[in-house]
Amino acid sequence: MNRLQPNPTALQNICVICIGALCLVTQNTALAQAQNALVPVYKVDPFWPKMPLPNKWIIQGVPTMVTDKNDHIWVMNRPRDINPDEAGATTKPPRTDCCIAAPAVLEFDTAGNLIQGWGGPGYTDGWPAKGIAKPGAASEHNIIVDREGNVWISGSSQGDSIQKFTGDGKLLWDFGHRAERPPVARLPENNQNTDLFPGGIFFFDLDEAAREIYIVDQKRVLVYDYDGKFKRGWGGHGMPLSEIDNNPTPPYDTAGDPPDQKQFAPALHCVHFSVDNLVYVCERGSNRIQVFTKDGKFVFSFFVHPSTPARGKECGGPGSQLYGMCGTIYNLTFSHDAEQKYILIPDGTNDKIWMHERKSGKLVGEIGDNGRMAGQFHWIDAIAIDSHGNLYTGEVDTGKRVQKFNLMNGDGVARFRPHE
């Protein structure tokens, strides 16, 4: 009896067609998932971190936070923000049972356990705001933990710079580029000078693959190598450093939105990298985010709640009894989905986290409001995200706390976001 024999060529063609169809379905599914990533939904965890902290420690102003490769949360704490009514345990004998300002660098796990704390005034010779008892915002400012577990911090006082430590606090390296400390007069603004940072270094980030340090300062983005050598820089809309003016940014009529000017308007309040290698710069002085390639080519920009005053004479600082804060972009992080469809922006003036589409700038949601209860904010300044998309926030002024917000509609995939 004759049997039908399969045609090898036909089977190969069928397999190729099936494999091709499977690849197409897989690619289309991934694209659809990226395009349809849900707007994140969060719920505050009122029991994070675990209290009380050891040694009668109390958290003070928290300008920045970051997560590391182990999903630990590192907090930049300002010990000198402590007030007498909080520091009763520091006197001898103690005036009250509590408290003592916690160290400047605090490491927590996702469950809220404090792993360690170290650093503070006088910890190293180059520690931020040397010799200043109450520096306020001009003190410890930024913290980054690299993939090797080293901790980088910067300060925002005259004469401050960046210092690199081991995870347990041993000094490894100093970036330098310091201006002279007071009582020497502060140098005037000079956006063409890449040797010195007259007001310290507020914010920076690391491109670890390229071994580069990105610093936002005055009206510019500057890039240095890991030895501290300047490589390149640019101003607003990608303008060359030579074209940046050195005059104070003029005020505007705050009855309307900030002008969409070409120059950056200080303060520049963060710099971060997206998964598609774009550079996002927080321009608090214009309520604007500007986006660039890593070689400084301008891509686009968008405003965040532009009706809020961004700069001018009616802008108060910490402790002001006359005016509230100004500006809406204190920092940012990116959503947990693989394509980072959304950008999350802490706004210490409106005391919210705004959620915008990353590539269009469209507002899609918000988290929180002004208040002191769990899930509310007073002067939110810091934000970080762990590998499962949970958010961590920090507050300055009299907020002086950290909070955790659990992602309720994530996909369950662990995606580590170093420096975020």
Task: Judge whether residue 24 has pLDDT over 50.
Answer: no
Q: Model's pTM, two decimal places?
A: 0.91
Query: Could you give the domains of the chain?
Result: 38-407 (2.120.10.30)
Given a cut of 60, is residue 25 above it in pLDDT?
no
Mean of the per-residue pLDDT values of the chain = 92
What pLDDT is attached to residue 404? 98
pLDDT in tens, 316-335: 877 677 888 999 999 999 99
SS3 annotation, the chain = CCCCCCCHHHHHHHHHHHHHHHHHHHHHHHHHHHHCCCCCCEEEECCCCCCCCHHHEECCEEEEEEECCCCCEEEEEEHHHCCHHHCHHHCCCCCCCCCEECCCEEEECCCCCEEEEECCCCCCCCCCCCCCCCCCCCCEEEEEECCCCCEEEEECCCCCCEEEECCCCCEEEECCCECCCCCCCCCCCCCCCCCCECCCCCEEEEECCCCEEEEEECCEEEEEECCCCEEEEECHHHCCHHHCCCCCCCCCCCCCCCCCCCCCCCCEEEEEECCCCCEEEEEHHHCEEEEECCCCCEEEEEECCCCCCCCCCCCCCCCCCCCCCCCCCCCCEECCCCCCCEEEEEECCCCEEEEEECCCCCEEEEECCECCCCCCECCEEEEEECCCCCEEEEECCCCCCEEEEEECCCCCCCCCCCCC
What percent of the chain stands above pLDDT 90? 87
Convert the pLDDT of each residue in 297-315 to its tens digit: 999 999 999 999 999 988 8
Mean pLDDT within 262-287: 97
Express each pLDDT in 37-89 by its tens digit.
899 999 999 999 999 999 999 999 999 999 999 999 999 999 999 999 999 99
Q: What is the pLDDT of residues 100-132, one digit of tens each?
A: 999 999 999 999 999 999 999 999 999 999 999
